[in-house]
Amino acid sequence: MEGGASAGGVGVDTFSQGLILLLGSALIEHGVLSIEMVMEVVQAVAVRMCDAEDIRVTAAGASVLKAAIHLAKQNAQRGDAHGDAHHSPRSKTASSDPKAMAWKRVLETVIRSTASSSCLASIRRLLCYQSKSFLESIGQNRRDTEEDPRAVIHPAEAITGAGPASGGLAQQSELAAAQLEGSEFGGRTRGMLDYAVSLLALTVQYYPATSAKIMSARLWQPLCRQLSYGGFGELSPIGIVALVKVLRLLLEDIGGTPDAPGHSDCHLQLISEGVFQMCGSLLHGPHLRSLELWPLREGGGVRGMTDLLVNVSALVRTPLQPAHLPKETLVKCQQAVYTEGLVHGTLRGLYLVAKRLDDPPPHIPIDLLSKLAMLSSKFLSQFMHCEGLRVLRDCDSFASTSPERVINASLAVASQAGKASVKYYPSIDQANLYPYVYQLLAHNSAPVRSKTCNLIGYLCRHSDFFYQALITPVSDFDGPRTGQSVKSLASNTLLSRLIDRCEDLDQGTRKFACFAIGNAAFYSNALYRHLDPVIPMLVAVMRTSEDEKSRTNAAAALGNLVRHSSELTDALGRHRVAQALLDVALEDSVVGPKRIALFSLGTICVYSSCRLHVEALRPSLDVALESISSSEAGQDPQVAEHVARIRKKLALPGSS
């Protein structure tokens, strides 16, 4: 191939130029051309794209560069992997494979060409493409619905063209029949904009430094608008995913440079250009089902649905928590996500794909749901209204075999629901997470065990609703529950495993296990008879843990064991709990555990059966309290209040 002629030079009509470029793309994609010829084609195409006046030529040129960057990266990495077998892992020497080096030069040439101002300007002209007939159809839709404002159709909901990513949402029959040039051989599976957005996505993915050039070339708004309008019928499912991906990558890079011009404006354009609305539409059930029927090689099927779900979730997640985004902008983004029902859409997508994949459930959508649930009670309410926990359970998100980050994100959502309100308890119970929680309490990952203990703690935060579930054998959750009283604690219960976690090797797990035990004894004495074995474990944590919060939780739990009755006072006496609490009140290095130890000691003093143990304290309780009052800790209002409470309790007759 010779210079410009190979790229459709002067004297070649536009149609022929496009065919030549598409042929070059196919030859590169199938590995037919040598490295030298690929380099020659890339250089010629880069020049031709800059000079092209017809956006169809630009689109065809982008297909060549996209094929070249993909092939070059693949071969360069293969060469690096081969070189790693002959070099030390710490060696900085470049691969000695001449082919790998040649492919790296091709890769660098494609990146430089794509990121050049002239090439980006050409791509921008392409991305400013609008279909007159499409706009007329949209305008007609708006005119037809002016009499009934409730029937107004947003452009993102009236899209047609190459594939269900743009056509599955069409609301009008006239939009469903796109007039496709060259469709005598069957309907198109690719759109004119596919290759340009795929090229940009690969460029930013491999070389993030190019993000600044892309933003400077004013491509952000055209990219947003094309997504909002579905590429005016010129984006296939593959193109939609690539466009969503490039927007997310650019947003991530913008987030790293908050002082960049237009930093906040870019996030606001996601709203004004209808990007969030389009994301919600892409996750609508009819569209996902249409995508499922689309050819697998063209971005359809379950894998295509998963790619769309993951990339849309990643895009929506990105602008929600940037550290330097103005609060007003952040609130507007959250409102848009809420209004467009993206919680429901994400759950719908997960439900449709997770059980049909050979892979574990995708992490990013679940992480998005977790972040949304913790951002606002409104998102949490949407999640629970859609039976989100049941969906996550059905997707195996709580299964011990799932990736740790999937489990942790799922536990975070469930914990947030338990923490937020007692009104969610029936929904949590109906999700029947108990067998999964039982397995996760023995997970080989310490963070998973600790988060599972934390979940149980929040399930017992507002009432004793879940107390019976804690002592029900997990095997019984598969059938009807009797709710009968349990006299002895079976080994296959949540409570038995929770007690074991109080002497877990991991400090964080012990901390949250003590927190959960304390809450399991807070609202009633229903579980007291089963908690005798945990007393020495709590004492050990309170005395020896290096973590202040762990010591505090253990001290609180010990006090709760006598909050409602004297059932465990003998056991507390055997394990010298009163002495341990006093020692902490006197000797702990920080005030937090001192406060709670004094409060729990005051609760113990209520009972006559404990008074003998209190009288045997060393130093005597009177001397100890006087010492505490005169110390620096005694100046703390809560410490002073708890000291006075102990004296008041002791002045009264003991309870039985």
**Kind and range of the H or E element at 269?**
helix 263-272
Inter-CA distances, 297 with 107, 182, 189, 232, 310, Å: 25, 20, 10, 22, 18
Closest CA to 389 of 358, 401, 420, 359: 420
Q: What is the pLDDT of residue 161?
A: 44
Query: 550 Cβ partners below 8 Å, 6+ apart?
Result: 507, 510, 511, 514, 541
The span from the CA of 634 to the CA of 625, in Å, is: 9
Domain boundaries, the chain: 1-83+98-127
Q: Is 580 exposed, middle or buried (0-12, 13-18, 19+ CB in 10 A)?
A: buried
Whether pLDDT at 543 is above 90: yes
Contact 625, 647 (CB under 8 A): yes
**Kind and range of the H or E element at 199?**
helix 194-206
Q: Which two tokens stand for residue 423?
A: 């009104």
pLDDT tens track for 233-264 = 899 999 999 999 999 999 988 766 656 555 56
pLDDT bracket for residue 96 (50, 70, 90): low
pLDDT tens track for 456-502 = 999 999 999 999 999 999 988 874 454 555 556 778 999 999 999 99
pLDDT tens track for 141-150 = 544 434 333 3
Give the CA radius of gyration of the chain. 32
Q: What is the pLDDT of residue 143?
A: 41
CA angle 45, 49, 50 (to 5 degrees): 120
